[in-house]
Amino acid sequence: MSYLETGYLTLEDIRLPSEERLLKGPVAVIECVQQIPCNPCVASCPRGAITMGDSINNLPVVDFEKCNGCSICVANCPGLAIFIVDKSYGENKALVGMPYEFLPLPEKDEEVDLLNRQGSQCGTGIVRRIRNSKSQDRTPVIFIEVDKDLAMDVRFFRRKL
Ligand code: SF4
Ligand code: SF4
């Protein structure tokens, strides 16, 4: 069944980095599938790692080798459709960076409930880093330590408070 019917994406809808690339370090995963006139992701990437071809309606494509996972594009995407996945983070753990526009922000080392693309809880994780500079225009990026096998499933979180 397509995401148009279910309302959520599956891994088959998304262009993924290779496992080899994921194990090298942080990288952007773009989960943007609707052809709309939008390109802040392309404009914001300092490494020119995101391209879109000659139409602003095209879907963005990440060059996973150029991307260093800086997360600038995550904060600049109005669709909250970009995530950072780092499977080099630990032996059994990965770090997943995601946009978060709710207040109050979680705190470093806080345990949170992890949610998948369907909005279902899929485990718990620990907030390890919060990137929230003025240049991010009120879209902080929260990096959460998760079990490595959940790195491609976790796409949101809920505070336990
Ligand atoms: S994470 Fe950084 S380097 Fe990678 S695509 Fe986004 S802005 Fe570019
Ligand atoms: S900025 Fe976000 S919503 Fe817009 S094209 Fe890029 S990934 Fe898609």
Q: Domain spans of the chain?
A: 3-159
pLDDT of residue 158: 97
Query: What is the number of the ligand 1 atom nearest to the C-alpha of 71?
Result: 1
Please give the full DSSP string across the chain, using - where no structure is assigned. Answer: --HHHHSS--GGGS----HHHHTTS-EEEE---S--S--HHHHH-TT--EE-TT-TTSPPEE-TTT-----HHHHH-TT--EEEEETTS-SSEEEEEEE---SSPP-TT-EEEEE-TTS-EEEEEEEEEEE--GGGTT--EEEEEEEGGGTTT--EEEE--
Task: Indicate if ligand 1 lies below 6 Å from the C-beta of 26.
Answer: no
Residues of the chain under the 70 pLDDT cut: none
Nearest CA to ligand 1 atom 7: 45
pLDDT of residue 22: 97
pLDDT of residue 137: 74
Q: Measured in angstroms, how far is the CA atom of residue 38 from the centroid of ligand 2?
A: 6
pLDDT of residue 136: 76
pLDDT of residue 138: 82
Task: Indicate if ligand 1 lies below 6 Å from the C-beta of 68.
Answer: yes
Task: Indicate if ligand 1 lies below 6 Å from the C-beta of 73.
Answer: yes
Nearest CA to ligand 1 atom 4: 67
Task: Indicate if ligand 1 lies below 6 Å from the C-beta of 75.
Answer: no
